[in-house]
Structures are given as structure tokens and as C-alpha cells.
Amino acid sequence: MARKMLIDGEAESVPGVEQGTNFDFDLFIIGAGSGGVRAARFSSNYGAKVGICELPFNPISSETIGGVGGTCVIRGCVPKKILVYGASYGGELEDARNYGWELNEKVDFNWKKLLQKKTDEINRLNGIYKRLLSNAGVKLFEGEGKIVGPNEVEVTQLDGTKLSYTAKHILIATGSRAQRPNIPGQELGITSDEALSLEDLPKRAVVLGGGYIAVEFASIWRGMGSEVDLVFRKELLLRGFDDEMRAVVARNLEGRGINLHPRTNLTQLIKTENGIKVITDHGEELIADVVLFATGRAPNSKRLNLEAVGVEVDKAGAIKVDEYSRTSIPSIWAVGDVTNRMNLTPVALMEASCFAKTVFNGQASKPDYSNIACAVFSIPPLSVVGLSEEQAIEQTKGDLLIFTSTFNPMKNTISGRQEKTEVMKLIVDAETDKVLGASMCGPDAPEIIQGIAIALKCGATKEQFDSTVGIHPSAAEEFVTMRTVTRRVTGSGKPKTNL
């Protein structure tokens, strides 16, 4: 009997598949990153026979190289955060002197040692992910997968031999890859993949881009002592975040010694004896040892044979899916960055979990994209949950109450660091008292906002925040002691331009 799936509470067979058809697998997954591994494990736990394929491991990806664990584990969140930790110690050592630590000798930084430690860790995690699949009873194939029919996948192994498998359901979880701008000399630049594996720490770096990756790598390199120029097209960095918080991040970056070049783009890179000459659209010339392109990512969908099978994609190559992550072909599904919905690792995990519940546990589950917290691991970091002020103005009809607090962290009063990094903000619906959004820029912001996210998910009101007793002394207590309204935004007000 064909396995049933629930959609809106009604059992449904997969269209086009005859009852009683035998398949090699109940589910075959292309891509063993965060979303693929989660879907494989959960589906197997629900009783499905699961196969999964992934490209061979390498820290720097290509169309034919990847690795179990995917971008986040191998060349994304995890190694990036390790480097952020490493870069943060520079400032900590400076601050330590005023806390009584006598650092008499010059402190040197060994980039190669940190790089090796980072590599050791991602190798360890790659092995852990393989064991997770094995322990769940999932069959792992190393090679490139593509779809050759609604229920058939072809895997090209490392030696070129091709294996063909049938599956009742196929899940695409191939993620995305960093892109390069189409400018003369672009081959002289690198992407975040290479930036995480540089043999030598650059003394001079130019970063092109205004998003997460650009801001984070600028912070990392500056924290390690490099001279950094950050070039971006908009007036402010981090488009899509709250404008007020974006300005705070920009001030902090400048305060740490990063040179900002707003409303600027790169037009050409030229190799010289002194390094890479970088020319901007304003005619400015910069010299760098490394030029990082942090100008966006594109879905990994080109080599999957989607068009031949009839799976619809958008202009950017993102796979079109419905609210259950189902593509235009009923037996084929997609989760994670390849769908370009909300490109965050925890979101891919959520989508994969919902997929497994829907298809193999008879529990129709739609991903919920509301109140998803996120963080930019700049130094210091920015973290947010819920609506920005601009989004709240756009999406609500009534008045908004804006609460903000800016102060010098207690730690800085002794260290002498002149950086008002603790900036907190709450957006409140004036009529319902519901907290619509929270933002924080400062040390430990992601750890604090994760807790605030639970409150917003539960629909907490400002009164409930105010009635919560704070932990003293802490920065986090500020979220429950902001009593005075900074400003009231009337319902007739228009959102500020998101610069």
C-alpha cells in the first residue's frame, strides 16, 4: 500500500505514482548540509528508508566539491564564529591591562595556528555528521546527484561511474554558493570560502558588500590587526535591518578602525607588485593584499537537471515551493537556501523538520517564519527578533511606541574603552501593548536576544516585560527596565527610507 501523506488533515497519495509501486528508497535527498541531514534523520526515525548523496569534502566549495555538513559547518557559521572568537581576544587583551593583568611582553597573533585549529574542528564535525546519518540508518553516497525523473535520481561517483536509484519522494537540499561580481580582474578577488582558509593573514583587506558576511569578515580581520576598507553601495550597511541599529553598527565599526566607503562600488582589480590595486566607481584607488567579494549567494540548482524534469525555478535559480516545501512536481521537495526563502541554518532545520513530519509522520506542518531571531557576528554583535521599526510602521495601522536605551557597558567603565556598544530597542504596538520587535547591539547580544525571542513567540506584552524582575548587574536587565517611551510613531506616519 502506498505511503500516505497529510495535507491540511487529508490523506493523500503522491500523484502519478501507482499504488503498490516498489522503490529503492522512500526518500532520496540531494545535499547533506544542515537541512538535508535533518530531513534524513527525522524521516528515518519516522520509519522511512532514506538515501542521501553529497559531494566530496573540501573547505572551499565548487560545483563538484562540498562535504557532509554543508556550508554552515564547513565554510560558514561554524568556522566564521571560531575566527570571530579569535579576533575578539585582541580587544580583550587591551582591556585586561586596566583590570590588573600585567602584559609586559608584546603579544603576537599566530594566524596559522588558529587556522589549523579551525580546520581540525570542521574535520571533526564532518565526521560527526556522517556518524549521525549512519546511526540513523541513512545510506550515504559520495558523489554528485541529479534528478532524471519524478522518482529517479542519478549519482555520479568520484570515479565517474553512475548509479541510479528510485524514490517515492526526492528532497533537494543543495544550499547556495557565494557569487563574484562581473568586473575586470574579478579573478583576483576571493569569496568567503577562501577567506576562511587563507594561508596568511592579510595586512590590508578590501571587503565589497554590506551584508552579514562583509561586516563579519571586516570585524574579524580588523580584530586581528589588519587594515580594512569596507565598500558598500547603500548609505548604510545591513539592508533589511532596523535603520537605527544599522547606524549603531556603522559607528562601532568605524570606532574599531574600519574605513567605511558608503555609496561606493568597485569597478576593477589590477595586480601590481605592491598588491591588488582596487579602483572604485568614484575613481578612488586602494591597495590590498586580499579583496573579499561578499556580494550575495546564488541557489545551487544549475546542475540538478530541474528543467528537464519540470521543476520550476525563479529568475535567480531558486526552486519554487509551496508552503509545505513541495515543488511543482508532487514527488519532489526542496528546503533551505536553494529555495531562497529565509536563508539561515536554523530555518533550513525547521523546514526539514516540517517536511519530515508532513511526509512521513502524517502531521501536516508548515514552517513558521514569524519572530525568527538572527545575529550579525560583528564585533560587537547585532542581534534582532521580530519587526524592525520600518517594518512595523509598514505592517501595522495604529501607533507604535519605541523604547531605546544606549549606555556604556559596565565592563568598559574599568577598561576605559570608549564605545557605547550597549544599544537596545523595543517596538511596541500602542493599542495592544504587544512587543513587535527587539534589537540589541553589544557584547552577548545573540545570547540575550535568543531568550527575548521566546517571549515574542509567546506574544508577550510590554507590561509583561516590565513586570519581569531583572538580573543585576547585567546588560540584559535593560530589556525589562525601559519604562520611558523614546518616541511615539503615529499610524499615519510613513516608514523611513531603508537606506
Q: Could you please report the per-residue DSSP string of 376-431?
A: E--SS-EEEEE--HHHHHHH-SS-EEEEEEEE--HHHHHH------EEEEEEEETT
Q: With pLDDT > 90 as the criterion, what percentage of the chain qualifies?
A: 86
What's the CATH class of domain 181-294? alpha beta
- Give the pLDDT band (50/70/90) at residue 9: very low
For residue 492, the model assigns a pLDDT of 65
Give me the count of residues in the chain: 499
**Residue 483, CB-side half-sphere exposure with 13 Å CA sphere:** 3
Pairing label, strands 162-172, 332-334: parallel
Q: Is 20 labelled a binding residue?
A: no
Asked if residue 143 belongs to a known ligand binding site, the reply is no
Cell of 212: 552579514
pLDDT tens for 319-356 read: 999 999 999 999 999 999 999 999 999 999 999 999 99
**Lowest-confidence region among 58-67, 71-80, 273-282, 488-497:** 488-497
In the chain, what percentage of residues exceed pLDDT 70? 94
**Is 337 a known ligand-binding residue?**
yes
**pLDDT-derived band of residue 419, with 50, 70 and 90 as boundaries?**
low
Grid coordinates in use for 321? Answer: 515551493
Q: Pick the catalytic residue from 169, 261, 282, 472.
A: 472
Q: How far apart are CA 462 and CA 286, in angstroms?
A: 49
Q: What average pLDDT does the chain have?
A: 93
Give the amino acid at 480: V
Any binding-site annotation on 491? no
425: annotated binding-site residue? no
Q: Do the annotations mark residue 281 as ligand-binding?
A: no
C-alpha cell at 52: 542521501
Q: Quick one: fold of 25-178+298-361? A: FAD/NAD(P)-binding domain (3.50.50)
| 213 annotated as ligand-binding | yes
281: helix, strand or coil:
coil
Give the three-state DSSP class for 426. Answer: strand
Record the cell numbers describing residue 97, joined without a space.
Answer: 591591562
C-alpha cell at 221: 580581520
- Considering only CA atoms, which of 495, 498, 452 is closest in space to residue 475? 452
Domain ranges of the chain: 25-178+298-361, 181-294, 373-489
Distances (CA, A) of 260 to 210, 249, 378: 10, 11, 14
* The two domains 25-178+298-361 and 181-294 share their CATH topology (first three levels equal): yes
- 273 appears as a binding residue in the annotation: no
296 known ligand binder: yes
CA–CA distance, 27 with 169 (Å, rounded to integer): 5
DSSP SS3 for 184: coil
* Known active-site residue 261: no
Please state whether beta strands 266-272 and 297-299 pair in parallel, antiparallel, or not at all (unpaired): unpaired
Q: Which three cell numbers stand for residue 217?
A: 569578515
259 grid coordinates = 574605513
- What band does 17 get if pLDDT is binned at 50, 70 and 90? low
| For range 170-194, the mean pLDDT | 97
**For position 27, what pLDDT does the model report?**
98
What's the alpha-carbon Rg for the chain, to the nearest Å? Answer: 24
Tens digits of per-residue pLDDT, 69-91?
999 999 999 999 999 999 999 88
CATH architecture of 373-489: 2-Layer Sandwich (3.30)
Residue 342's Cβ-count burial label (10 Å; 0-12, 13-18, 19+) is middle
Sign of CA dihedral 315, 394, 447, 405: positive
Q: Is the alpha carbon torsion for 451, 453, 457, 458 positive or negative?
A: positive
Q: Is 81 annotated as contributing to ligand binding?
A: yes
Residue 473, preceding bond cis, omega within 30 degrees? yes
Please tell me whether 209 is known to bind a ligand.
Answer: yes
Task: Determine the residue type at 23.
Answer: F
- Asked if the model's pLDDT at residue 428 lies above 60, the reply is yes
